[in-house]
């Protein structure tokens, strides 16, 4: 075989009979010697991956060897060979060093001791019978590089073709990605060995319906960390607008909200003044025009935008498409002095966490353009937070080796993650804002529901819900998600140090939204079950500019 084939196709298996954690020192020494001899052989052959199987009762020396192996080899990947469910042993010899009997605990200890090295993955052995959903869900967050399915998990159909139960198939599909290696273990009654089992799994994968548009759009962004937009400081690019404009749900909801307002609150008006602030390349202007046509209501329509590049597109549409039905104004909405005040002020300035792109500050600054009786679409926005285990994205942050990385909220389509409790409401903003004085600072102590399972807290996923008008909403919160909408991915507030959360424990966190004359920022920390330092104190690592 060529070197390239050894690297691409061969998975090395380190000896399983070694006893790194034996009480006998000679055996420990011998095991370590064998381990390094085998690693040297794997490196010599240029193998890409080796698997190693820990003793579930004692594995601290094993973890130390893995750490040393990871640090002494440049590119070799290590897969920890571990069962999803602990095998039933006749008598478990108690070992005082062992922190837990759950295989996930073993994996978590090894991973933590190896500093979450990204070359460390899991070769997960599925059981004959599935455990509780929580246990499967927790594994879904982990870097499963190989999945072993026992032949005993299959039943044979009438025509003797092996098949998995519906639940088992669902769990299997939830644990794999396109590059997970699948291994069949156990005896086979078929003359052609394991091929019928592999064939059954292949057809299962192929029988999946093609992904919907919103899923397809998200695939390249899964677990990919992005710095949130700075819509005030930066000017969005044409391509960014183009992505927004493809959303099939957002604009239909806006159109519905404008239509509902025109046909209820403004049903007796002959003509209504609508101002779109932050018009971009004009999709909300088109929503307003379609709603007016549908409601058979005349509009006096204005489009305000501060991005000088987007204005070029708007001016072109003003001339070629809207033909005098829309007046385009280049201005910051906070400074614009209108000739006529709005009945309806329409905007879409929401970030993944609702207020994180400064929609409250912009809309407060623009509300002098609304009549006293006028309304804002959206009417309000509420952010939500949810504690999550997200080892993949946390590992990516760790590899940046900076405090700043852990003190920045990132936009990320969380894929390999596990929620530890349901999301809870955080900050709410209402528009127009009749508070006096206007104050967009906030603070909130959030207590989440007790954890259902032992896990690790890597940070908090953030979402928003927004009422556009009356019953018309948009949401990226999992429970109320606007199906098919893809304009926003969640936000992730990381923690510098992952925290162990035990089953039944309650996570309590505190978050502040703070500001000064030039910027807005968040600070956050965990209060319970253990205290962390305040992240992003005084906005030292991350802020959103007001200018
Ligand atoms: C998220 S984009 C939405 C654009 C468009 N409405 C859409 O749905 O595609 C927000 C827009 O608001 C503009 N914007 C943000 N702050 C603004 C301000 N203070 N004054 C005017 N425009 C602003 C940005 O330049 C950007 O075009």
- CATH number of the domain residue 278 falls in: 3.40.50.150
Ligand 1 atom closest to Cα of residue 307 = 25
Give the β-pairing of 155-156 and 491-501: unpaired
Domain boundary among 210, 229, 247: 210
Ligand 1 atom closest to Cα of residue 251 = 8
Q: Domain with 535 in it: what CATH number?
A: 2.70.160.11
> Residues 524-540: pLDDT tens digits?
999 999 999 999 999 99
Report the b/e string of 280-317 with b at 16+ CB within 10 A.
bbbbbbbbbbbbbeebebebbbbbbbbbeebbebbeeb
Of 241, 253, 258, 306, the one to substitute when testing ligand 1's pocket (max ligand atoms within 8 A of C-beta) is 306
> Residues 176-212: pLDDT tens digits?
988 899 999 999 989 999 999 999 999 999 988 888 8
Average the pLDDT over 410-419 and give the result: 96
Same domain? 344 vs 407:
no
Give whole-number Cα distances, 269 to 195, 295, 297, 343, 515, in Å: 72, 12, 8, 10, 40
Structure-block tokens of residue 218: 């998200």
Q: Residue 100 has what pLDDT? A: 45
Answer yes or no: is pLDDT of 32 > 90. yes
Domain boundary among 348, 364, 394: 348
Domain assignment of residue 537, yes or no: yes
Rounded distance between C-alpha atoms, residue 415 and residue 293, angstroms: 41
Give the β-pairing of 271-277 and 181-185: unpaired
Of 305, 338, 353, 368, the one to substitute when testing ligand 1's pocket (max ligand atoms within 8 A of C-beta) is 305
Q: Which band of pLDDT confidence, cut at 50, 70 and 90, is reported for residue 333?
A: very high
Compute, in angstroms, the gap from residue 399 CA to the centroid of ligand 1.
34
Answer yes or no: is pLDDT of 252 > 60. yes
Active site residues: 348, 357
- Name every protein residue with a CB atom under 6 angstroms from any ligand 1 atom: 231-232, 236, 241, 244-245, 277-280, 283-284, 304-307, 310, 332-334, 348-349, 362
Percent of the chain with pLDDT over 90: 88
> Residues 255-278: pLDDT tens digits?
999 999 999 999 999 999 999 999
Q: Residue 217 has what pLDDT? A: 86
Same domain? 194 vs 306:
no
Domain assignment of residue 359, yes or no: no
Q: Which band of pLDDT confidence, cut at 50, 70 and 90, is reported for residue 89?
A: low
Q: Which residues contact 224 (CB under 8 A, 6 or more apart)?
A: 412, 413
Domain assignment of residue 75, yes or no: yes
Q: Phi and psi (nearest 5°) for 429?
A: -130, 135
Compute, in angstroms, the gap from residue 359 CA to the centroid of ligand 1.
10
Give whole-number Cα distances, 254 to 247, 459, 486, in Å: 12, 32, 15
Same domain? 412 vs 285:
no
- Find the domain containing 434 and state its range: 380-545
> Residues 487-535: pLDDT tens digits?
999 999 999 999 999 999 999 999 999 999 999 999 999 999 999 999 9
Chain CA centroid to CA 100, Å: 29
Percent of the chain with pLDDT over 70: 98
Three-state SS annotation for 169-195: HHHHHHHCCCCCEEEEECCCCCCCCCH
Q: Residue 212 has what pLDDT? A: 87
Say whether 543 sits in a helix, a strand or coil. Answer: coil
Answer yes or no: is pLDDT of 429 > 80. yes
Average model confidence (pLDDT) for the chain? 94
Q: Domain with 194 in it: what CATH number?
A: 3.20.20.150
Compute, in angstroms, the gap from residue 269 CA to the centroid of ligand 1.
28
Q: Phi and psi (nearest 5°) for 318?
A: -55, -40
Q: Does residue 241 have a known ligand-binding role?
A: yes
Give the β-pairing of 508-515 and 442-447: antiparallel
Q: Residue 179 has what pLDDT? A: 85
Domain assignment of residue 152, yes or no: yes
Answer yes or no: is pLDDT of 96 > 70. no
Say whether 519 sits in a helix, a strand or coil. Answer: strand
Q: Residue 98 has what pLDDT? A: 44
> Residues 97-136: pLDDT tens digits?
344 468 999 999 999 999 999 999 999 999 999 999 999 9
Q: Residue 249 has what pLDDT? A: 96
Tell me how many domains the chain contains. 3
Q: Residue 177 has what pLDDT? A: 87
Say whether 244 sits in a helix, a strand or coil. Answer: helix
């Amino acid at each position: 075989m060529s070197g390239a084939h050894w690297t691409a196709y061969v998975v090395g298996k380190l000896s399983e009979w070694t006893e790194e954690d034996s009480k006998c020192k000679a055996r420990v020494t011998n095991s370590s010697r064998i381990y390094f001899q085998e690693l040297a052989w794997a490196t010599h052959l240029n193998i890409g991956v080796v698997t190693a199987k820990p003793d579930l009762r004692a594995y601290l020396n094993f973890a130390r060897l893995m750490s040393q192996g990871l640090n002494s080899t440049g590119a070799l990947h290590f897969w920890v060979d571990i069962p999803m469910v602990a095998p039933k042993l006749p008598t478990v010899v108690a070992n005082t060093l062992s922190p837990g009997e759950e295989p996930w605990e073993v994996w978590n200890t090894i991973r933590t001791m190896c500093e979450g090295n990204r070359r460390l993955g899991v070769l997960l052995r599925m059981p004959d019978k599935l455990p509780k959903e929580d246990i499967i869900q927790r594994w879904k967050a982990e870097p499963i590089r190989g999945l072993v399915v026992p032949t005993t998990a299959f039943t044979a159909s009438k025509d003797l073709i092996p098949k998995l139960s519906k639940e088992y198939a669902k769990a299997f599909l939830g644990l794999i990605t396109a590059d997970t290696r699948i291994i069949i273990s156990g005896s086979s009654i078929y003359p052609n060995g394991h091929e019928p089992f592999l064939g059954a799994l292949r057809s299962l994968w192929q029988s999946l319906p093609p992904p919907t548009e919103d899923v397809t759009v998200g695939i390249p962004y899964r677990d990919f960390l992005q710095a949130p937009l700075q819509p005030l400081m930066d000017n969005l690019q044409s391509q960014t607008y183009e992505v927004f404009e493809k959303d099939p749900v957002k604009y239909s909801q806006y159109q519905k909200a404008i239509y509902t307002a025109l046909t209820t609150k403004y049903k007796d008006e002959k003509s209504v003044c609508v101002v779109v602030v932050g018009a971009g390349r004009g999709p909300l202007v088109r929503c307003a025009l379609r709603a007016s046509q549908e409601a058979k209501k005349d509009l006096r329509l204005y489009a305000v935008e501060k991005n000088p590049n987007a204005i070029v597109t708007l001016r072109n549409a003003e001339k070629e498409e809207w033909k005098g039905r829309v007046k385009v104004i280049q201005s910051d909405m906070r400074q614009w002095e209108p000739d006529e005040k709005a009945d309806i002020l329409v905007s879409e300035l929401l970030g993944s966490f609702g207020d994180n792109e400064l929609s409250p500050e912009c809309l407060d600054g623009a509300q002098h353009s609304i009549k006293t009786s006028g309304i804002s679409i959206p009417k309000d926005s509420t952010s939500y937070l949810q504690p999550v285990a997200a080892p993949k994205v946390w590992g990516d942050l760790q590899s940046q080796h900076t405090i700043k990385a852990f003190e920045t909220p990132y936009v990320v389509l969380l894929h390999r993650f596990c929620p530890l409790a349901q999301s809870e409401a955080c900050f709410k903003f209402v528009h127009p804002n009749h508070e006096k004085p206007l104050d967009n600072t906030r603070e909130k102590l959030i207590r989440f529901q007790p954890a259902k399972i032992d896990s690790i807290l890597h940070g908090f996923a953030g979402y928003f819900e927004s009422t556009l008008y009356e019953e018309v909403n948009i949401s990226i919160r999992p429970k109320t998600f606007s199906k098919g909408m893809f304009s926003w991915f969640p936000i992730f507030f990381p923690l510098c140090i992952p925290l162990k959360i035990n089953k039944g424990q309650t996570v309590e966190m505190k978050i502040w939204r703070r500001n000064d004359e030039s910027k807005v920022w968040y600070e956050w920390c965990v209060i319970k079950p253990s205290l962390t330092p305040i992240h992003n104190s005084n906005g030292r690592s991350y802020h959103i500019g007001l200018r």
